[in-house]
Structure 1
Amino acid sequence: MRRLLPLLLAMALPGAALLGVAAPAQAEAAPKRILSGWMPYWMTTQSQPQGITSVVQNADLFVDVSPFWYSATAKAGGGVQVQVNPNFKNASTNIPWAMGQLRAAGVTVLPAIADASGKGRMAATLADPTQRAAHIAELVAMVMANGYNGLDLDYEGFAFSDGSASWPSTQPNWTAFVQELSAALHAQGKLLSVTIPSPCDTRNRCGGQSGYWVYNLPAIAQVADRVRIMAYDFSVQGIGPIAPIGWVTAITQYATSVMDPAKLQLGVPTYGRAWTKKNSNGSFVLSGNCPNRNGSASERRAWGELTDRASFTSADAPKVLTRAGVPETAVTWDAQAQESWVEYDKPVTWTDGAGATQTCTARRITWFVGPDGVLARTQLIGTYGLNAAAFWTIGGENPAQWPLLRSYAQSLAPATATVAITAPPSVVSGQAATIQGSVLVNGAPGAGVPVVLQFAPQGSGDFVDLQTGTTGPDGAVTFQVVLPASGVLRITSAATDTAPAGISTESTVAVGSTVTTRLRTDTVTRGGTIKVRVIVRPPAKQQKVLLQRLTRDGSWERVSSAKVNAKGRVLLSGTAPDGKGRYTYRVVAPGGNGISEGISPTFNVRVRR
Structure 2
Amino acid sequence: MASIVLLTFSLTSEPSARADAQPRKILTGWIPYYGMKSALPAAVTNGDLIQEVMPFWYSLKSATSIADLYKPANPSVPISIPLTTMRDSGFTIIPTITDGTAKLVLSGLIAKAKTRTQVVATITKLVMDNNFDGIDLDFEGFAFVDGISTWSATRPNWVLFVQELSASLHAQNKLLSITTPVLFDPTTGKKGYYLFDWAAISPMIDRLRIMTYDYSTGSQGPIGPIAWVDESVKYAVSVIAASKIYIGVPGYGRDWVTKVEGVCPSQYSKAIAVGAKPAVFVQRDAITLAANYRTVPTFNATYSEATFSYKKVYEGVSAAGLATKCTATRRAWYQNAQSYTDRANLVAKYRLGGITLWTLGMQDTDAIQAVRTVATGIAPAPILNSLTLDKSEMFYGESLNLTGLFQLTDKQPVVGLGIKIEVKPVGEDAWKKLEIDPVTGSDGTISLPLILGRSTQIRLTSEGSWERLASTSSELPVNVKRRLAITAPATASIGNGATISGVIQPHEAGANVQLERLVKGVWKSEGAAEISDPTGHFVLSYLGKSRSIVTFRIRVSPDAKFDEVISPIFNIVIS
* TM category, shorter: 0.5 to 0.7
Between the aligned partners of 1:464 and 1:221, the Cα distance in structure 2 is 35
Kindly indicate whether residue 2 of structure 2 is the aligned counterpart of residue 36 of structure 1.
Answer: no
2:192 aligned with 1:211: yes
- Residue 333 in structure 1 maps to residue 309 in structure 2: no
**One of 44, 50, 64 as aligned partner of 2:52:** 64
Aligned match of 2:260 = 286
| Shift in CA distance, 276/111, structure 1 to aligned 2, threshold 3 Å | same
Contact 1:416 1:499 (8 Å CA) reproduced: yes
Between the aligned partners of 2:198 and 2:135, the Cα distance in structure 1 is 18
Q: Deviations over 1:316-361 (max 9, x none)?
A: 33433333x2333xx1100111101111112112223676543211
Cα distance, 1:311 vs structure 2: 2.1
2:326 to 360, 372, 397: 360
State the SS of the aligned residue for 2:205: coil
1:85 CA displacement = 2.3
Partner of 2:164: 180
TM-aligned CA deviation for residue 304 of structure 1: 1.5
Show the counterpart of 2:207.
Answer: 226
**Structure 1 gap segments, 5+ residues each:** 1-26, 278-284, 292-298, 421-439, 452-462, 467-497, 506-609
How far off is 1:250 after superposition? 0.6
- Give distance in 2, aligned partners of 1:464 and 1:159: 52
Matched, 1:400 2:366: yes
Matched letter for residue 149 of structure 1? D
Residue deviations 1:61-109, cap 9 Å, x none? 1131111100012x4xxx4621212884235834222111111100011
Counterpart Cα distance in 2 of 1:361 and 1:98: 46
Deviation by residue 1:523-556 (Cα, 9 ceiling, x = unmatched):
xxxxxxxxxxxxxxxxxxxxxxxxxxxxxxxxxx
Q: 1:309 aligns with which of 267, 278, 300?
A: 278
Which entry has the higher C-alpha Rg, 1 or 2?
1
Q: Does 1:164 align with 2:148?
A: yes
Are the aligned partners of 1:302 and 1:348 in contact in 2 as well (CA < 8 Å)? Answer: no
Identify the residue that residue 256 of structure 1 maps to in structure 2.
237
3-state DSSP of counterpart to 1:61: coil
* Correspondence for 1:266: 247
SS at match of 1:59: coil
TM-score by length of 1: 0.58
Change beyond 3 A, Cα 1:416–1:138: closer
Given that 1:269 and 1:374 are in contact with CA atoms closer than 8 Å, whether structure 2 keeps it comes out as: no
In the TM superposition, residue 205 of structure 1 has moved relative to its aligned partner by 6.0
Work out whether residues 199 and 207 of structure 1, in 8 Å CA contact, stay in contact via their aligned partners in 2. no
1:405 CA drift (Å): 1.4
d(CA) in 1 for partners of 2:413, 2:120: 56
- TM-aligned CA distance change 1:347 to 1:115, over 3 Å: same
Deviation track 1:141-188 (CA, whole Å, cap 9, x = no partner) reads 111111111110000001000011111111111101001101101111
Return the alpha-carbon distance in structure 1 between the equivalents of residues 331 and 38 of structure 2: 28
Are 1:115 and 2:96 matched, yes or no?
A: no
Q: Percent identity?
A: 35
Q: Deviations over 1:404-424 (max 9, x none)?
A: 21121111112347799xxxx
C-alpha distance 133-91 of structure 1, shift in aligned 2 (>3 A): farther
Question: Could you give the per-residue CA deviations for residues 30-51 of structure 1, whole angstroms, max 9, x where no partner exists?
Answer: 111111121221112xxxx211
Using the alignment, how far apart are the partners of 2:196 and 2:236 within structure 1?
Answer: 13
1:98 aligns with 2:77: no
2-side partners of 1:360 and 1:194: how far apart? 45
Of the three residues 299, 312, 320, the one matched with 2:289 is 320
Separation in structure 2 between the aligned mates of residue 350 and residue 87 of structure 1, nearest angstrom: 41
1:50 equivalent in alignment to 2:38:
yes
Question: 1:405-448: per-residue Cα shift (whole Å, max 9, x none)?
Answer: 1121111112347799xxxxxxxxxxxxxxxxxxx976xx89xx
Q: Distance in 1 between matches of 2:118 and 2:186?
A: 37
- State how many pairs are aligned: 385
Counterpart CA distance in 1 for 2:282 and 2:187 is 29
State the superposition RMSD in angstroms. Answer: 3.3
Which shows bigger deviation, 179-188 or 86-95? 86-95
Name the aligned partner's letter for residue 287 of structure 1.
E
2:335 counterpart residue number:
369
CA distance in 2, matches of 1:464, 1:313: 53
Q: Does 1:411 align with 2:385?
A: no
- Answer yes or no: is the 8 Å Cα contact 1:302–1:350 preserved in 2: no
**Aligned residue in 2 for 1:4:** none
User: Matched residue of 1:30: which SS?
Assistant: coil
Corresponding residue for residue 551 of structure 2? none
Letter in 2 for 1:304: A
- Supply the distance in 1 between the matched residues of 2:130 and 2:329 (Cα, whole angstroms): 49
Cα distance per residue 1:349-406 (max 9 Å; x no partner): 2223676543211111111111221121111111101111111111111222222211
**Counterparts of 1:418 and 1:186, CA distance in 2:** 31
1-structure distance, mates of 2:280, 2:142: 23
